[in-house]
Amino acid sequence: METIKLEPKYSTKEISGKCLRCAAKHELEIHLRGLLGRYERGYGAKKLEGKFEALVSFLKSPGLEKLVNESEKYLAEGREVELIIYPDGTQPKYKLVVKWQP
């Protein structure tokens, strides 16, 4: 199954960002709309279902707060952050990738 990539952004007075939790919720809404559209048309949506379930699992995971705090720390330092979710059907795995900004 394909990975899910979330890219949180740092908030300032001038620019509205998006925390890791908000990025996951936004992605969840996109997948939910896709699922509803497919079900209305009678299409199967196994790939979307898997991604949706992985996002729900991530939002319910006990490690969410730690990842949110860690990503916020890096964003405050001016770094770019990306969370990769690897859905595997039973328990998704997460990887926080921190990139240095020039």
The per-residue pLDDT for 10 is: 77
Average pLDDT over residues 11-21: 72
Q: Is 80 helix (H, G, I), strand (E, B) or coil?
A: strand
The per-residue pLDDT for 82 is: 94
pLDDT surpassing 60 at residue 13: no
Domain ranges of the chain: 4-99
CA distance 5 to 16: 20
Instruction: Categorize the per-residue pLDDT at 19 as very low, low, confident or very high, splitting at 50, 70 and 90.
Output: confident
Predicted TM-score (pTM) of this structure: 0.80
Could you tell me if 8 and 23 are in contact, meaning their C-beta atoms sit under 8 angstroms apart? yes
pLDDT tens-digit map of 29-61: 998 888 888 777 766 677 778 888 889 999 999
How high is the mean pLDDT of the chain?
84
